[in-house]
Amino acid sequence: MLKGRIVSLLRLRQLWLVLALVWAGIVLFYSLQPSVELPGLFRLVQDLVLHFGAYAGVSFLLMLYSRSSAGPVKVSVLSFGYGLGVEILQPIVAEGRVFSWYDVLANSLGIASGIVLALFIRKRIFNPKHDVV
């Protein structure tokens, strides 16, 4: 019974969109903070790992929202554009921040990983063969 309710909740597309927007907002907030004001944890973890994880999360959640056959392409373009825009804004808005092609590369690898993971998981969550009555 509980498993059926969880599956029903996971099938709510709006949930994935809201989570994606919240996560993208968190990424934006911390990306535009001056480097000296970032929490200590962020300075301990490699910057490129943070970029990878942040954009893997964005693309993963957007991919779970998407039901289009062109979803991976749309999510890739949207996530990449978002990441590039944030990267361009950093030196303008945040003191101590610079544009970095390495960050863009880490974002891109995270986007690709998030999409692949979401496609794999989406088959399990939304596959009618696994429905619980």
Cβ neighbours for 60, distance < 8 A, ≥ 6 positions apart: 114, 115, 117, 118
Q: How many helices (H) and strands (E) does the chain have?
A: 6, 0
* Residue for token pair 């361009």: 88
C-alpha distances (whole Å) from 90 to each of 29, 56, 84, 128 are 11, 20, 10, 44
The answer on pLDDT for 132 being more than 50 is: no
Contact indicator for 72, 115 with CB cutoff of 8 Å: yes
Per-residue pLDDT band at 67 (split at 50, 70, 90): confident
* Model pLDDT for residues 21-42, shown as the tens digit of each residue: 999 999 999 999 887 766 666 6
As to burial, measured by CB atoms within 10 angstroms (0-12 exposed, 13-18 middle, 19+ buried), residue 128 is exposed
Q: Which of 15-19, 57-61, 110-114 has the lowest mean pLDDT?
A: 15-19
pTM over 0.85: no
**Which amino acid, 98?**
V
How far is CA 133 from its chain centroid? 32
Selection from 12, 130, 8 nearest residue 64 by Cα: 12
